[in-house]
């Protein structure tokens, strides 16, 4: 399903542009095509360049295993797993940046610097949002933080949860290089952030990067969907509601990318700081 979300976003943007656009399954075709190609690596790169795509995919898979999906417990759950979740995403980002720097390209160094600078603001916003959930649930495990108690928590801490949802949605757009922070379809030198870091990757390595990015989007979207729709209606109906909600969120992302332009780089930190403040206000509202 992670790649399906990218297809839904692409279809939504195509509908706004008044054209048919690529097939809904195009992201699957792209990844399969890349996996069938041979790997090409520059002689000037080291093992870091080869490890970057693998680590980014593995960390995204491990992060997925910590998040409850469709109202069901996560595959792995323990006290403090939300810290591991945040730093798995951070580790994947670190290796992507390191792989880009390993090429020795000033172009990729520029994108790496932007990615590192903006991640310094997304990480506090993510932790502040998770702190709200920790305080409400009195638990340090994501499975319980995103558990059935949320259904009643909305009555008591609704204002705080709304702020956390908005903050996490901003983080989702920033972490996954979506508009208004970045444009995954652009190759304009002065505006690229994530895409510039993976320009030298090709074949299976690029396929790993694309699938890892789709997993990262899926994980962040699953958390937001769980916060918005916290009730359980049964095994099969819960999965159905979850899938429909995820597709609805992907359509929302596509709508935003269709009606908004990229922010200037100087404005990106302002929006990320706003995400931090929203989560911080959520803590204040909860404590008053």
Question: Is it the case that residue 36 has pLDDT exceeding 80?
Answer: yes
d(C-alpha 169, C-alpha 163), whole Å = 10
Identify which of 198, 204, 220, 261 has the alpha carbon closest to the alpha carbon of residue 49: 198
d(C-alpha 171, C-alpha 178), whole Å = 10
d(C-alpha 284, C-alpha 168), whole Å = 17
Per-residue tokens: 235: 């095994």
Q: What is the pLDDT of residue 54?
A: 92
Would you say 145 and 139 are in contact if contact means Cβ atoms under 8 Å apart? yes
d(C-alpha 100, C-alpha 107), whole Å = 9
8-state DSSP, 177: T
131 membership: H or E segment, kind and range: helix 106-137
Secondary structure class of 68 (helix, strand, coil): coil
Would you say 77 and 141 are in contact if contact means Cβ atoms under 8 Å apart? yes
pLDDT digits (tens, 9 = 90+) for 196-255: 777 888 888 888 988 988 898 899 899 998 888 887 777 777 788 888 989 988 898 888
Q: What is the pLDDT of residue 139?
A: 84
d(C-alpha 254, C-alpha 57), whole Å = 24
pLDDT digits (tens, 9 = 90+) for 6-30: 889 888 888 888 888 788 888 899 8
Identify which of 207, 200, 194, 192 has the alpha carbon closest to the alpha carbon of residue 105: 200
* Mean per-residue pLDDT over the chain, rounded: 85
- pLDDT range class, residue 178, cuts 50, 70, 90: confident
Burial 102-132 (b: 16+ CB within 10 A, else e): bbebeebbbbbebbeebbebbbebbebbbbb
Question: Is it the case that residue 81 has pLDDT exceeding 90?
Answer: no
d(C-alpha 16, C-alpha 230), whole Å = 31
Question: Is it the case that residue 191 has pLDDT exceeding 60?
Answer: no
Would you say 70 and 239 are in contact if contact means Cβ atoms under 8 Å apart? yes
Secondary structure class of 43 (helix, strand, coil): coil
d(C-alpha 81, C-alpha 143), whole Å = 9
Would you say 68 and 74 are in contact if contact means Cβ atoms under 8 Å apart? yes
Secondary structure class of 69 (helix, strand, coil): strand
Residues in the chain, how many? 288
Question: Is it the case that residue 58 has pLDDT exceeding 90?
Answer: yes
Identify which of 128, 171, 144, 166 has the alpha carbon closest to the alpha carbon of residue 230: 144
Q: How many CB atoms lie within 10 A of CB 198?
A: 22
């Amino acid at each position: 399903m992670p790649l399906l979300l990218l297809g839904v976003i692409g279809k939504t943007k195509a509908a706004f542009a008044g054209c048919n656009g690529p097939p809904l399954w195009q992201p699957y075709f792209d990844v399969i095509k890349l996996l069938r190609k041979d790997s090409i690596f520059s002689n000037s790169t080291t093992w870091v360049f080869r490890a970057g795509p693998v680590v980014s995919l593995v960390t995204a898979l491990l992060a997925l295993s910590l998040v409850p999906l469709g109202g069901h417990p996560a595959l792995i759950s323990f006290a403090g797993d939300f810290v591991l979740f945040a730093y798995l995403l951070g580790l994947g980002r670190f290796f992507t940046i390191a792989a880009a720097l390993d090429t020795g390209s000033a172009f990729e160094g520029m994108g790496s610097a932007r990615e590192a600078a903006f991640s310094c603001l997304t990480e506090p916003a993510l932790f502040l949002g998770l702190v709200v959930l920790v305080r409400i649930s009195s638990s340090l495990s994501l499975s319980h933080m995103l558990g059935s108690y949320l259904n009643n928590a909305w009555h008591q801490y609704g204002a705080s949860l709304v702020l956390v949802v908005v903050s996490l949605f901003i983080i989702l757009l920033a972490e996954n290089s979506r508009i208004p922070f970045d444009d995954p379809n652009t190759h304009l030198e002065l505006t690229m952030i994530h895409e510039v870091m993976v320009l030298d990757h090709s074949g299976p390595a690029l396929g790993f990067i694309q699938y890892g990015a789709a997993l990262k989007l899926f994980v962040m979207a699953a958390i937001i969907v769980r916060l918005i729709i916290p009730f359980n209606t049964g095994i099969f109906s819960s999965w159905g509601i979850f899938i429909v909600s995820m597709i609805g969120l992907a359509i929302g992302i596509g709508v935003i990318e269709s009606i908004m332009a990229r922010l200037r780089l100087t404005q990106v930190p302002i929006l990320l700081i706003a995400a931090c403040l929203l989560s911080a206000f959520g803590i204040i509202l909860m404590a008053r």
